[in-house]
Amino acid sequence: MRTEKRKKERSRKLAWEILEYLLLSFATALFTYGFLCTTAVSLGEAYLAGRGISVTEAQNMVFHLWLRSICILASVPVFLSLFLVMLGQRLSYLLSIIKGVERLEEKQMDFHIKLEGNDELTRLAESINVLAQSQLRISRQEREMQEEREMFIRSLSHDIRTPLTSLISYSQIVGDREGLTPEETASYIRLVQEKSQQIKELTDRLLGEKQAGREQVEDLRFLMEQMAFQWEEILEERFACRIDLEACGRTAGTLDVGGLWRIMDNLASNVEKYADPNRQVELTVSSRGREICLVQRNGIREGALGEVESHGLGLVSVSQIARSMEGTVESGEKNGIFEVRITFLMAE
């Protein structure tokens, strides 16, 4: 009921505005008529008096009727012109609104209708502007979400390839090498199992069946020793590795352990792609309170950046994981040494 009442009030307001145009035009035409009539009668009487022409009462009535008719004919165009000009302004504004609606239908949201007046047309233009801005914002958010989703899929697909490559390598080692001790065979089988489980978890996340989450960690130093040991096992056959965990405390808390494994796999993968095998690869892990800092340094193999096809997805994935743990990633090259510095927070 209130909405219908408001609509009626707005309709009356627009009608009153048109009525104002009509009355203003009529008043202007009436003034024009009075001015022309008075001026014409005065000039006519002055002309007749100057010529010494005398007229009868009947002739005087005809003369005044003739002048008033001419003044009325002259006032009518004034009335129509003024009324149509003022009404035309609102009609042209209506055309602007119609063009805005057409652009809205064509999903062209980058427009703004200028607000003129304070009637229903103005409110309609304002509503269209709000709708266009809302649609533009929604479209931008959908585009950003789509880009994030595509990046999420690309980074996870890249991360799946890393343990898959390790799994293939370990399987080939077990199949091709002769004389492996039972301890070595068991070690490689354990690595294959760990990488297979990691691939399963990543595949579940890719299919939306599992979400990343934090896990309880009782001893940070012990967890990082496990990850560093596996990192070294991946690289030790081609690279001289050095691990420094002296500054890593035995803190307890919660971490995205799966994400941390992905970070270590990506770091090892980058070493295999770009590192100089004649130079030592260093991994340093330190902690201070809740903040954990992980640094990897390696020499850059000559021509590696030009030989290896890469889209930088490894570091992109590492950055995404670090951000999910309230962390940052910094990387750069200096004097032939490439350094990746990852900091993140361990929740209490």
Whether 15 shows a pLDDT value over 50: the answer reads yes
**pLDDT digits over 290-301, tens only?**
899 999 999 888
* Token reading at 294: 């992980």
DSSP code for 66: H
Name which of 27-31, 47-51, 302-306 the model is least confident about: 302-306
Q: Which of 271, 269, 259 is nearest to 322 (CA)?
A: 259
SS3 110: coil
pLDDT band at 2 (very low <50, low <70, confident <90, very high): very low
Whether 305 shows a pLDDT value over 60: the answer reads no
Q: What is the pLDDT of residue 303?
A: 67
* Token reading at 40: 């014409």
Q: What whole-number distance in Å separates Cα of residue 186 and Cα of residue 154?
A: 33
Side-chain-facing half-sphere of 240: CA atoms under 13 Å = 5
Whether 221 shows a pLDDT value over 60: the answer reads yes
Q: What whole-number distance in Å separates Cα of residue 329 and Cα of residue 44?
A: 97
* Strands 215-217 and 337-345, sheet pairing: unpaired
pLDDT band at 238 (very low <50, low <70, confident <90, very high): confident
**Mean pLDDT on 80-102:** 78
Nearby residues of 232 by Cβ (< 8 Å), 6 or more positions away: 241, 243, 283
Nearby residues of 176 by Cβ (< 8 Å), 6 or more positions away: none
Name which of 188-197, 246-255, 306-315, 333-342 the model is least confident about: 306-315
Q: What whole-number distance in Å separates Cα of residue 161 and Cα of residue 60?
A: 110
Q: What whole-number distance in Å separates Cα of residue 192 and Cα of residue 184?
A: 12
